[in-house]
Structure 1
């Protein structure tokens, strides 16, 4: 009997008491702050996001200028999908977003694995990888526009030195969009790496020690420990990279302005060109299409990734 008393005492101490934390399990904890504390944030959110969003939906149904507007229904959307260059921009947007986000996820994970290993100068290498994130997007675009010049650019000159004829990175319709995507990956992979590093270092080392005792190698550690337990970081990188790719504009405009022709146009650059030409209603409809495209892709993907993370 005496030997069982510590176990009984431990069970009694862990049992929920009436009125204690166990009684309200399953209920949402009530916030200690009054509801009106949220009012300033709600006002700012409404003024800066909700009102402009509804205004964009309204103006997409009109032919408007700075001084007047005329309601035309869905004509702007019909014209948007009837214009070949606008449809090309829509297709390029999806291709660009998938390529850049996929490359950032893969390269970011590989770099994070390397930079969390016992490598020399690990802190310095992390800074080097993250540095492009801090550089101005326009500055990066102008710099690589010079480097990728087919006549005298550093990249083609370096390839010519080893006997390789470099393509027209930004002037060849077959290469332009992919060249910009490559630069986008170079600039953004540092942020993905940082997020993956944050996810990997939070994994308890006991898992890797137990796997080492069982004889598991690096590949099994990655597949059965790192990848599942870093799922939250993976979901974050996929979501942020995909949103950034779908909304991309600055880098493409700085490097190609959508050219040659319309081969590297995305929705954002097409919208900007329509604004420049004075087609405000059509460009607003393009904004609505972009908003719906991002929402239709990102929301289900976020729900799926978070759902799988919870089930894990």
Structure 2
């Protein structure tokens, strides 16, 4: 039987080529990236580079004067601006930590065999769909020190309710708790997806070995939902560090500057016409998010590989 029997004409032509020659690649896969690259460059790279430049200037809508790093020096000389940086880190860590812990616990509960599981899932996720500004205004009224429904209810049982958003030491924490209430549903859904993807064989093997419910949770669920944990921590931390809407709706950064974060400080500087200083704040916020999230993500990914 001939060696070429069963080969197509295209295969015969390829066999007849010189060893050093390769088939020409189609240009289409590369060109398919071009529209996305243009959009990404126009909407992200170009504004980022422009922000870096304008943060080094004193600019208005019609002119810009180069002043070097003076905006950054002024930013860190002002006590209320530095307070905004500190509040941003506290707010991001608090909301991210609570969403991760509560989201995991709720996901474990809502993936178990409980009554009204579907209804409870809907109730947990519903706040995610509600307008952030609407939630802020609603809780501002509910947390009013004398007329708010929360303090009125506490007074009915003999407890003197605090000034949730009027006390400088409680305002930032109060907003953070509302943020957790609104956003924990998304974390719960992500954790639920991670839990239901764990093979049931792991739980069966652990039960055969005599594992308790706590051991099943700590030794099986927690390690195997690590990818979901990384996602929740990363998303909630980025969201917390750059959060603005709820804080502005509930407290406007007050009382005083006690609940100001970098995003609200930036907005106030733009309102006052200090565009260069506000742009420098944007660059600082970008740097803080990068310095916090990138090492944390690297650490999570390294731990995942080690497993």
Comparing 65-74 with 220-229, greater Cα deviation is found at: 220-229
Structure 1 residue 310, shift from structure 2 partner = 2.1
- Structure 1 unaligned residues grouped into runs of 5+: 1-29
| 1:107-128 Cα deviation digits (max 9, x unpaired) | 0010001001100111111110
Structure 1 residue 223, shift from structure 2 partner = 1.4
- Give secondary structure in 2 for the equivalent of 1:34: helix
Normalising by structure 1, report the TM-score. Answer: 0.89
Compared CA separation, residues 308 and 117, structure 1 to 2 (3 A):
same
Using the alignment, how far apart are the partners of 2:222 and 2:98 within structure 1? 17
Superposition RMSD in Å: 1.3
| 1:150-201 Cα deviation digits (max 9, x unpaired) | 0110000000000000001010101100000000000000000000000000
Using the alignment, how far apart are the partners of 2:131 and 2:100 within structure 1? 22
1:89 aligned residue: 84
Of 176, 188, 192, 1:193 maps to: 188
2:168 aligned residue: 173
1:25 aligned residue: none
Alignment pair present for 1:216 and 2:211: yes
Of 293, 297, 306, 1:298 maps to: 293
Alignment pair present for 1:262 and 2:257: yes
Alignment pair present for 1:162 and 2:157: yes
- Give secondary structure in 1 for the equivalent of 2:113: coil
Match runs of 1:36-55 below 5 Å: 36-55=31-50
Normalising by structure 2, report the TM-score. Answer: 0.91
- Give secondary structure in 2 for the equivalent of 1:272: helix
Match runs of 1:131-170 below 5 Å: 131-170=126-165
- Structure 2 unaligned residues grouped into runs of 5+: 1-24
Of 51, 57, 62, 1:56 maps to: 51
Using the alignment, how far apart are the partners of 1:151 and 1:234 within structure 2? 40
**Number of paired residues?**
283
Structure 1 residue 221, shift from structure 2 partner = 0.7
Structure 1 residue 285, shift from structure 2 partner = 0.2
Runs of 4+ in 1 over 2 A off after TM superposition: 30-33
1:288 aligned residue: 283
2:227 aligned residue: 232
- Give secondary structure in 2 for the equivalent of 1:164: coil
Of 110, 113, 126, 1:118 maps to: 113
Compared CA separation, residues 112 and 73, structure 1 to 2 (3 A):
same
